């Protein structure tokens, strides 16, 4: 289903009539450098996905939604070292930001086999190691029994006889996730020459580059594709769990640093509480094999780096009404 939506959306974009039953496409207002994601969601799917993203009724004990662990105001993280699922059991890693997730090639901290948002969603929805949402046919019935959802699904999938099903639920939540695009941080405004940063933040950027941070945290999303072991103390074998290769031990995906000031605690295991601790971690030369040599920072240099990292906070995006819980 998702692929049909995508193809038709794309066809509409290039001006060829697709099908009369396809509704208005999502309207993008993106800045230069932010191409519309390859997945082009429809307006109705996005609205439905938004509602479901915040709805706890899908969860086993009526207590957890995607938004429990991915809170909009925290750039879709949750402020916890590790969150708990519907049964109260802790998940094994720190919650990830969903900002600009549409541009990711793989999903999760250390899994290079998951390439789309729909496949990713199987773990939080149905996984039981531990249970996260714990969705089942019983919880699906709560959605089916809701008149409003029945109407909205019938509207979004007019050709289907029983449109309230997990395939469609996953497709519309993915459509909502694709729209979570943050492109108006002071850093973006600097790149577009709309606005200059403070001298201290500009110096911080140069230090960020000269210290080698931009070897991995580069480009518009401040990340390159790839998995590295940056020496974070952890019992988690990272990418090795999926690949079975010893050389992948302790390797994790390079995360974007967008909105990093609001996504503490940091790293795959939430082991570092503040950005100061992250800087200390790198300053201590965590991994000589990666040439992550240590460095000394004066108080002033540290302040510069922190000021640069602050530039990556897109306050407008974090408050966007269109991404918030629609029932509030």
In angstroms, rounded to a whole number, what is the distance separating the alpha carbons of residues 165 and 167? 6
Residues 6 or more apart in contact with residue 176 via CB below 8 angstroms? 41, 45, 46, 48, 49, 50, 52, 53
Instruction: Verify binding: residue 117, ligand HEC, rule CB under 6 A.
Output: yes
In angstroms, rounded to a whole number, what is the distance separating the alpha carbons of residues 255 and 224? 8
In angstroms, rounded to a whole number, what is the distance separating the alpha carbons of residues 311 and 298? 20
As a dihedral over the C-alpha atoms of residue 93, residue 98, residue 102, residue 104, rounded to 10 degrees, the angle is: -30
By rule CB under 6 A, what string of x and - marks binding of each residue 271-310 to ligand HEC?
Answer: ----x--x---x-------x-x------------------
Whole-number minimum distance, CB 213 to ligand HEC, in Å? 3
Which of 187, 252, 306, 323 touches ligand HEC by CB under 6 A?
252
HSE value, Cβ hemisphere, 13 Å, CA-based, for 49? 26
Which of 98, 262, 312, 318 touches ligand HEC by CB under 6 A?
98
Smaller CB separation from ligand HEC, 132 or 188: 132
Whole-number minimum distance, CB 190 to ligand HEC, in Å? 18
In angstroms, rounded to a whole number, what is the distance separating the alpha carbons of residues 272 and 30? 33
> Quick one: 29 exposed, middle or buried, by C-beta within 10 A (0-12, 13-18, 19+)?
exposed
Instruction: Verify binding: residue 230, ligand HEC, rule CB under 6 A.
Output: yes
Instruction: Verify binding: residue 5, ligand HEC, rule CB under 6 A.
Output: no
Whole-number minimum distance, CB 219 to ligand HEC, in Å? 13
Which tokens is 7 given? 């193809």
Instruction: Verify binding: residue 46, ligand HEC, rule CB under 6 A.
Output: no
Instruction: Verify binding: residue 217, ligand HEC, rule CB under 6 A.
Output: yes
Which of 8, 54, 55, 83 touches ligand HEC by CB under 6 A?
83
Instruction: Verify binding: residue 268, ligand HEC, rule CB under 6 A.
Output: yes
In angstroms, rounded to a whole number, what is the distance separating the alpha carbons of residues 252 and 112? 10
Which listed range, 34-42, 91-99, 138-146, 178-186, lies at the site for ligand HEC (CB under 6 A)?
91-99
Q: Give residues 171-190 in contact with ligand HEC (rule: CB under 6 A).
A: 173, 177
Which of 39, 40, 101, 311 touches ligand HEC by CB under 6 A?
101
Q: Are 159 and 21 in contact (CB under 8 A)?
A: yes
Nearest partner of 60 among 147, 150, 134, judged by Cα: 134
CA angle 162, 165, 168 (to 5 degrees): 105
Which of 212, 285, 286, 326 touches ligand HEC by CB under 6 A?
212
Instruction: Verify binding: residue 91, ligand HEC, rule CB under 6 A.
Output: yes
Smaller CB separation from ligand HEC, 187 or 282: 282
Instruction: Verify binding: residue 121, ligand HEC, rule CB under 6 A.
Output: yes
In angstroms, rounded to a whole number, what is the distance separating the alpha carbons of residues 150 and 155? 9
Q: Are 258 and 34 in contact (CB under 8 A)?
A: no
Instruction: Verify binding: residue 203, ligand HEC, rule CB under 6 A.
Output: no
First to last CA, the chain: 30
Q: Which residues bind ligand HEC (CB under 6 A)?
A: 64, 66, 68-70, 83, 85, 91, 93, 95-96, 98, 101, 104, 107-109, 117, 120-121, 124-125, 132-133, 173, 177, 211-213, 215-217, 228, 230, 232, 252, 254-255, 257, 260, 263, 266-268, 275, 278, 282, 290, 292
């Amino acid at each position: 289903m998702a692929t049909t939506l995508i193809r038709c959306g794309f066809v509409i974009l290039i001006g060829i009539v697709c099908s009369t039953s396809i509704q208005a496409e999502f309207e993008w207002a993106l800045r230069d450098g932010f191409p519309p994601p390859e997945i082009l969601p429809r307006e109705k799917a996005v609205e439905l996905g938004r509602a479901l993203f915040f709805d706890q009724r899908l969860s086993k004990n009526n207590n957890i939604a995607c938004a429990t662990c991915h809170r909009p105001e925290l750039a879709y993280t949750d402020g916890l070292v590790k969150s708990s699922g519907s049964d109260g059991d802790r998940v094994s890693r720190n919650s990830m930001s969903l900002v600009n997730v549409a541009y990711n090639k793989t999903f999760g901290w250390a899994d290079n086999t998951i390439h789309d948002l729909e496949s990713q969603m199987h773990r939080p929805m149905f996984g039981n190691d531990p249970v996260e949402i714990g969705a089942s046919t019983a919880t699906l019935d709560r959605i089916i029994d809701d008149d409003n959802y029945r109407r909205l699904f019938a509207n979004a999938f007019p050709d289907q006889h029983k449109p309230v099903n997990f395939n469609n639920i996953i497709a519309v939540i993915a459509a909502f996730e694709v729209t979570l695009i943050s492109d108006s941080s002071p850093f973006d405004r600097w790149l577009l020459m709309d606005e200059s940063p403070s001298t201290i933040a500009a110096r911080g950027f140069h230090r960020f580059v000269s210290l080698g941070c931009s070897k991995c945290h580069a480009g518009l999303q401040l990340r390159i594709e790839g998995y590295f072991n940056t020496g974070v103390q952890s019992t988690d074998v990272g990418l090795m769990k999926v690949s079975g290769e010893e050389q992948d031990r302790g390797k994790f995906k390079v995360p974007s640093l967008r909105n990093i000031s609001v996504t503490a605690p940091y790293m795959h295991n939430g082991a570092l509480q503040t950005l100061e601790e992250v800087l200390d971690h790198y300053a201590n030369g965590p991994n000589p094999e990666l040439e992550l040599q240590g460095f000394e920072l004066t108080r002033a240099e540290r302040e510069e780096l922190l000021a640069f990292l602050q530039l990556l906070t897109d306050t407008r995006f974090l408050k966007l009404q269109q991404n918030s819980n629609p029932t509030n």
